[in-house]
Chain A
Amino acid sequence: MDLKLPNPVRPAFVKTEHDDAVIVNIGPSHPATHGTVQIIAALDGEKVLRADVHCGYLHRGFEKECEDHTWHNLIPYVDRLNYCSALINDFAYCDAVEQLMGVAITPRARYLRTLLAEYSRLADHLTCVAATLMELGAMTAFLYLVMIRDYIYEHIADLTGARVTYSYGRIGGLARDLPAGWTARLVAILDQYEDFIGRVHGLVDRNRIFIDRMRNVGVITTEDAINWGYTGPILRSTGAPRDLRKDTPYLAYAELDFEVPVGIKGDNYDRYYVRMREMDESVHMIRQLVDMLPAGPINVDDPRCVLPEKSLVYGEIESLITHFKLIMDGPRVPAGEIYVAHEGANGELGFYLVSDGSGTPYKVHVRAPSFVHMGGAHRMLEGYQLADVVPTFGSINMIGGECDR
């Protein structure tokens, strides 16, 4: 073809101190980097000397888009940040807006949000572990994990109407209450999960190939991890028990009994194992929450942010006007700013909101864990083999939507 295509990125180096270093480009459309990330690596033989990580191939203008929508209307956009665990994003965002408005959600909504956030975390970790294992060739384990993830997707779809992107959180509550029989199916899925996850443990935990690919690869120390802004499972895999659910409890986490699993040396194997253990903890939490779930309304009674019931909208003029105002102008959020962080599946997911008192946000900024993790990713790649890029990237679990926004 005669078309000369422009290069969207500029590499940090075109040659290195090593004369015989080879520079290769990996990505952004590469089977081993699930997500669209590009790595420009200088190689000495098979060893990575320097790595230059580029992201941004999925930059969809989230923050600009937010400034154009009302506080409610941008919930679907929030969903698509970390699309593996969209509910955690929803709830973190809604929590931030609620705190800015001074709204306290109902107990049922609080417990239900906690339950669903853990359920989402389960799906997210399943995806991450499954993708990592598949890239290492463990196809059977991948199919087991995706199977259980699909049960979860279908099950959440019963509740929210969508399999991946739910748009289920609402400012002041949730979109709808649980359908009949939902918790019974939930318990059944958790039992199946235990069965499947046991098989995966049996297949890979002590597998020679798996250990050789994962142990002592992509090691990072706690000091380094904190310096590079790591949070979440990666920081915990280095041995630091830092978990926002324990450190600054939000939602209903203070009332739950759970442990924070930590790793020993912060390598790929630890990251894999921390995720596996966190899933067990999530299941443990969900089981507690099913018993704790109180009855009651799921939305607060606050006309500033919660839509009136549909029957009232059709039946009386005040509700119709409230509905119209909330849809067209958006909920009035008092002027101010707030930073609220939840423990996302990948780390600290923070929302920094600035309101000027109108129905649309003045600014929405997301502190996305994946983006920060990409900033230090070269530390885990340099000094290892080229083939180690694959499991290391898998265990970092970079999620494009959240990283590039």
Chain B
Amino acid sequence: MTPRTIPIRSEREPRSAFEYIATRKDELIGWARKFSLFPYPFVTACCAMEFMAVSSSPYDTDRFGAALPRFSPRQADLLMVVGTVTHKQAPILLKVYEQMCEPKWVMAFGVCATSGGFYQNYAAVAGIDRIIPVDIYIPGCPPRPEMVIDGIMQLQDKIARSQHLIVNKSF
């Protein structure tokens, strides 16, 4: 498929020829990437119950190209942190994150991952963004599957809109 057939959604006026082409390339890459999310479920707690529901037949994240959980962080590009992260778990989370290759996105699934939720004590980390950068937060305790699907779609929009590192002068 040639880049020409891809609709331009960016409202920016291209200022130079290179930037114009680079924008189109970004869109191409973004379009390809947003439909091939390989999630790594970092599943710890109660939210896992909803994660199971989201990824099986009634809600079926397959439709968003985010179907196949990869159980090796090296093969994944979406880290779904599902559930509470405790201080004991924090080094493992960081290690998993570091093992993932670029490009990578992080989803905080549930309020525990987002902010610690109602666990504000010595054991729980008050939000995984204290440890790793997060791209999308899905609140809810646990979030309803519809909310998760909405989160995945918003992440896809974000990917489609963002600039991609592999786009440079030689590409």
Q: Do A and B come from one complex?
A: yes
Q: Does B162 contact A (CB under 8 A)?
A: no
Contact of B49 among A30, A31, A84 (CB under 8 A): A84
Contact of A60 among B56, B84, B94, B95 (CB under 8 A): B84
Q: Does A77 contact B (CB under 8 A)?
A: yes
Q: Which residues in B have some Cβ–Cβ distance to A below 8 Å?
A: 42-46, 48-50, 52-53, 56-58, 69, 71, 83-84, 86, 88-89, 91-96, 98, 118-119, 121-124, 141-142, 144
Known interface pairs A3-B94, A5-B94, A147-B58. Does A36 touch B89 (Cβ–Cβ under 8 Å)?
Answer: yes
* B121–A61 touching, CB < 8 Å: yes
Residue in B closest to A404 when the chains form the complex, CB atoms? B86
* A57–B43 touching, CB < 8 Å: no
Q: In chain A, residues 265-284, which have Cβ atoms closer than 8 Å to a Cβ of chain B?
A: none
Residues of A within 8 A of B58 (CB): 146-147, 150
Q: How close is A5's CB to chain B, nearest CB, in angstroms?
A: 4
Residues of B within 8 A of A31 (CB): 69, 71
Residues of B within 8 A of A58 (CB): 44-45, 83-84, 86, 89
Residues of B within 8 A of A163 (CB): 50, 53, 142, 144
Contact of B52 among A36, A60, A77, A146 (CB under 8 A): A146
Q: Does A295 contact B (CB under 8 A)?
A: no
* A29–B92 touching, CB < 8 Å: yes
Q: How close is B20's CB to chain A, nearest CB, in angstroms?
A: 37
Contact of B44 among A6, A149, A165, A400 (CB under 8 A): A400
A65 to B94 alpha-carbon distance, docked (Å): 26
* B53–A61 touching, CB < 8 Å: no
Q: Does A56 contact B (CB under 8 A)?
A: yes
A94 to B63 alpha-carbon distance, docked (Å): 42
Q: Does A114 contact B (CB under 8 A)?
A: no
Decide if the interface of chain A is mainly helix, strand, loop or mixed. loop
Q: In chain A, residues 102-155, which have Cβ atoms closer than 8 Å to a Cβ of chain B?
A: 127, 130-131, 142-143, 146-147, 149-150, 153
* B89–A57 touching, CB < 8 Å: yes
Residue in B closest to A143 when the chains form the complex, CB atoms? B57
A368 to B119 alpha-carbon distance, docked (Å): 19
* A64–B121 touching, CB < 8 Å: yes
* B49–A7 touching, CB < 8 Å: no
* A80–B57 touching, CB < 8 Å: no
Besides A60-B84, A83-B46, A163-B144, 7 other A-B contacts (C-beta < 8 A)? A8-B92, A57-B89, A57-B92, A58-B45, A127-B49, A146-B53, A147-B57
List 6 A-B pairs, Cβ < 8 Å: A30-B71, A36-B89, A57-B44, A77-B118, A80-B46, A165-B142
A41 to B80 alpha-carbon distance, docked (Å): 28
Q: Does A401 contact B (CB under 8 A)?
A: yes
Residue in A closest to B49 when the chains form the complex, CB atoms? A164
* B121–A143 touching, CB < 8 Å: no
* B142–A60 touching, CB < 8 Å: no
Residues of A within 8 A of B46 (CB): 80, 83, 164-165, 401
Chain A CB count within 10 A is highest, among B52, B57, B91, for B52
Known interface pairs A29-B92, A58-B89, A164-B50. Does A142 touch B84 (Cβ–Cβ under 8 Å)?
Answer: no
* B48–A8 touching, CB < 8 Å: no
Residues of B within 8 A of A60 (CB): 45, 84, 86, 119, 121, 123-124
A130 to B50 alpha-carbon distance, docked (Å): 14
Residue in B closest to A142 when the chains form the complex, CB atoms? B56
Q: Does A180 contact B (CB under 8 A)?
A: no
Q: How close is A114's CB to chain B, nearest CB, in angstroms?
A: 23
Q: Does A1 contact B (CB under 8 A)?
A: yes
A58 to B46 alpha-carbon distance, docked (Å): 10
* B43–A34 touching, CB < 8 Å: yes
* B91–A8 touching, CB < 8 Å: yes
* B45–A61 touching, CB < 8 Å: no
A204 to B85 alpha-carbon distance, docked (Å): 35
Q: How close is A327's CB to chain B, nearest CB, in angstroms?
A: 16
Residues of B within 8 A of A64 (CB): 121-123
Contact of A164 among B42, B43, B84, B142 (CB under 8 A): B142
Q: How close is A146's CB to chain B, nearest CB, in angstroms?
A: 4
Q: Does A334 contact B (CB under 8 A)?
A: no
Q: In chain A, residues 64-81, which have Cβ atoms closer than 8 Å to a Cβ of chain B?
A: 64-65, 76-77, 80
A64 to B121 alpha-carbon distance, docked (Å): 8
Residues of B within 8 A of A80 (CB): 45-46
Q: How close is A66's CB to chain B, nearest CB, in angstroms?
A: 11
Q: Does A215 contact B (CB under 8 A)?
A: no
* B49–A83 touching, CB < 8 Å: yes
* B53–A153 touching, CB < 8 Å: yes
Q: Does A376 contact B (CB under 8 A)?
A: no
Residues of B within 8 A of A147 (CB): 56-58
Q: Does A59 contact B (CB under 8 A)?
A: yes
Residue in A closest to B95 when the chains form the complex, CB atoms? A5
Residues of B within 8 A of A61 (CB): 119, 121-124
Q: Does A28 contact B (CB under 8 A)?
A: yes
Residue in B closest to A59 when the chains form the complex, CB atoms? B123
A84 to B83 alpha-carbon distance, docked (Å): 14
Known interface pairs A29-B96, A80-B45. Does A146 touch B57 (Cβ–Cβ under 8 Å)?
Answer: yes
Chain B CB count within 10 A is highest, among A5, A28, A60, A84, for A60
Q: How close is A74's CB to chain B, nearest CB, in angstroms?
A: 10
* A7–B91 touching, CB < 8 Å: yes
Residue in A closest to B88 when the chains form the complex, CB atoms? A8
